[in-house]
Structure 1
Amino acid sequence: MMSTEPMPDDAERLLEQACAWLSQLHSGEFSTSAQQELNAWRAADSTHEQAWQRAEKLWAGLGQLRGRRVIPGAQPLSGEGGWQAHDEGVRVSRPVAKLDSRLRGNDGLRSLKGRVNTRTRSRRSLTLAVACCALLAVTLTALYPPAFWRADYLTGKGEQRTVTLADGSRVMLNTATALAIHFDDNVRRVELLTGEAFFEVAKNPQRPFVVSSAGSEVRAVGTAFSVQRQSAQTQVELVEGIVEIQDAQQHRERLTAGQSALISGHAIALQAAKRPENMALWRDGYLEFDGLPLHQAVAQINQYRPGRVVLLNPALADKRISGLFRLDALDQAIASLNAAVPELQIVSVTPYLVVLR
């Protein structure tokens, strides 16, 4: 279930300040001195940089509304306080500088807004943009789980994305997935914060590749496997090679190609072997139901399809569904549910709301 826990007051305040800076940056009237002040604010503390990254993700999320995708200033700060290119999966250390007193606490935000309000009408419009951005920040924080704010890579609903990490490993993110990367000299660690991902690991026996999820771990050297986080459980499917899996109680199992397992906080349940080519079919654009209860099939459709499918008839919830459906044609999947469950009535209220009763 998606968390609605609010952010701490300090984090919320810093996010508002970052949104104010970001709106000013996009105003077209961002001076060299303002850029220097922004650099100093970002470099003053790691929490400021985290707030800046969150604000950029909010701005990026509004890209379609603004008709643009590129975010100026998205790169991390360089050691000299300027801009530098960012390599995927590589973290860049930042210097700690003294924070300009004009930007401390809420006074800094009011000071920034005050300067905006004293200028031209375009600057007054910018003030409104600042307020809207800050309000949006607080609202979206309540709607999206904290996991998304900690992610280095993420996908939205129905989106899939492939990234190449710094070690050459490739990761394909499924719908609504968030990953955090924690590489060091000894271990290549990836944290699956939510969703599902498929890993093709570059071989390096001296630096194991570890995927952590809900207290469990999947450890590999060079192999291909998928990991899906299901609330407090983790599903692992091994397509190639060998991996070692571990739950929160240090129980361990070794999987070989074709095997899968469900890992909970205190146990590992090995599952029936599959043909490797039938694993993680979402990579090829397919959704498979193999005797899945109707309510679970509906939940999976909702992970990919825009809008919402609602099952209102609990008497049909456990009816079994089987079939192979294209992810880009899920309306056909919904229509086919009636063939498996003849008593099911399908009502399309709008293109985005379908009721099953």
Structure 2
Amino acid sequence: MGRQAPDGAQPDDGFTHDDPVVDEALEWFAHLRGSAPDAARQAEFDAWLRRDPRHAEEFRNLEAIWGSAAFGKAADSLHAAARPPAGRRRRQVIPTGWAGRLSAAAAVLIVALATWQLPSAVLRWQADYLTETGRQSTIALPDGSTMILNTASAVTVDFEDGRRDVRLLQGEAFFDVLRDPDHPFRVAGEYGEVEVRGTAFSVRIDDDRDRVVLERGRVDVSRLADRAEHVALEPDQMAVATDTALSAATSIDTARALAWREGRIVFENRPLSQVIDELRRYHAGTILVMDRRLDRLAITGNYRLDDIDGAVRTIADAVGLAMTRLPGGIVILR
């Protein structure tokens, strides 16, 4: 922003808007969400609210937007927006042409959200291998097995003294394991662990579950919280582990589930909300659906992972949605 932050210190990163009231409201909003104000700061904020009726109006707009359902999934992709180099400030000016489509407060908040980076230093410090959003990487492991990391994924590995242990920290990975009956190959997720001798399978961490998909061979899946709970998978089966339960083996179309290895993503009669959730995993910006009633729409299609904007545009055209693109990789469906 073109002024000082509410505490009088220049912020590290800045955004500017034609309307200074919107700028000030966003500064206060970001500051107050960061920590509870002391008595002096609260008094300063209260005085700012009383100074002009528009102050309270714009601040309430930001609170409403932040709490709306449309932003429920947005935080998953915020880490993809990189910070500017140290000592430099990024200035984003919202084009006046958007004013008729979105409120000024909504536009500036969306851009600000999309350019904040969630803390990733700990993950980067822990990981032996990782991929950025929208990227994939094939790694030859020390035992001769192959690992393919999907988008925004991270793992640690331990192959010392005959061990073949992998820990999936985030995202999704596919393993083509070299057979070695004397040395089990283990992959641990957040809630479950897979043990194999030689096979091909994937492990994916979602918000509250791990999903294991078996392409060939045989694997044993156990729950980390209670290893007595385990299930054996046959090809074209999957299991889901959570903090409290381990599912039975269920059938799955592995070609569709693992199409990401060929750079594709496939949907068949999937609700729009689920389709957008999947596309968000590969999109470095933010995808928002502003009307939750649209979630009932069913989507079928086969899309390229290297053109997520094109996939969203195709879906929008097919179901009659308006697609709006904003700076910072933000896509809005209405």
For normalisation by structure 1, the TM-score amounts to 0.58
CA RMSD of aligned residues (A): 2.8
Give the deviation of 1:232 after TM superposition.
2.9
Give the deviation of 1:307 after TM superposition.
2.0
Q: How does 1:38-117 map to 2 (within 5 A)?
A: none
The answer to whether the 8 A contact 2:184-2:195 is kept is yes
Of residues 299, 312, 321, the one that matches 2:299 is 321
- Give the structure 1 partner of residue 8 of structure 2: none
- Give the structure 1 partner of residue 183 of structure 2: 207
Taking the aligned partners of 1:323 and 1:333, their CA distance within structure 2 comes to 9
Of residues 155, 164, 167, the one that matches 1:179 is 155
Q: Which amino acid aligns with 1:328?
A: D
Change beyond 3 A, Cα 1:158–1:141:
closer
Give the deviation of 1:190 after TM superposition.
0.2
Q: Which amino acid aligns with 2:125?
A: W
- Give the structure 2 partner of residue 56 of structure 1: none
Taking the aligned partners of 2:299 and 2:328, their CA distance within structure 1 comes to 23
- Give the structure 2 partner of residue 87 of structure 1: none
The answer to whether the 8 A contact 1:249-1:265 is kept is no
Q: How does 1:300-319 map to 2 (within 5 A)?
A: 300-319=278-297
Q: Summarize deviations over 1:108-149 as a string: whole Å, max 9, x none.
A: xxxxxxxxxxxxxxxxxxxxx8x89xxxxxxx9962263332
Change beyond 3 A, Cα 1:272–1:215:
closer
Structure number with greater CO (CA < 8 Å, separation at least 6) is: 2
Give the deviation of 1:183 after TM superposition.
2.3
Taking the aligned partners of 2:121 and 2:230, their CA distance within structure 1 comes to 30
Q: How does 1:147-186 map to 2 (within 5 A)?
A: 147-186=123-162
Change beyond 3 A, Cα 1:254–1:287:
same
Give the deviation of 1:326 after TM superposition.
0.8
Q: Does 1:264 align with 2:252?
A: no
- Give the structure 2 partner of residue 71 of structure 1: none
Q: Which moved more, 1:158-167 or 1:291-300?
A: 291-300
Change beyond 3 A, Cα 1:338–1:142:
closer
SS in 2 for 1:204: coil
Q: Which runs of 5+ in 1 are unaligned?
A: 1-60, 67-128, 133-139
SS in 2 for 1:193: strand
Give the deviation of 1:339 after TM superposition.
4.9
Number of residue pairs matched by the alignment: 226
Taking the aligned partners of 2:199 and 2:244, their CA distance within structure 1 comes to 26
Provide the identity percentage: 33
Taking the aligned partners of 1:169 and 1:213, their CA distance within structure 2 comes to 18
Taking the aligned partners of 2:181 and 2:142, their CA distance within structure 1 comes to 16
Q: Which amino acid aligns with 2:146?
A: R
The answer to whether the 8 A contact 1:321-1:340 is kept is no
Of residues 162, 179, 192, the one that matches 2:168 is 192
Give the deviation of 1:315 after TM superposition.
1.5
Q: Does 1:353 align with 2:330?
A: yes
Taking the aligned partners of 2:245 and 2:267, their CA distance within structure 1 comes to 25
Q: Which moved more, 1:149-158 or 1:264-273?
A: 264-273
The answer to whether the 8 A contact 2:233-2:249 is kept is no
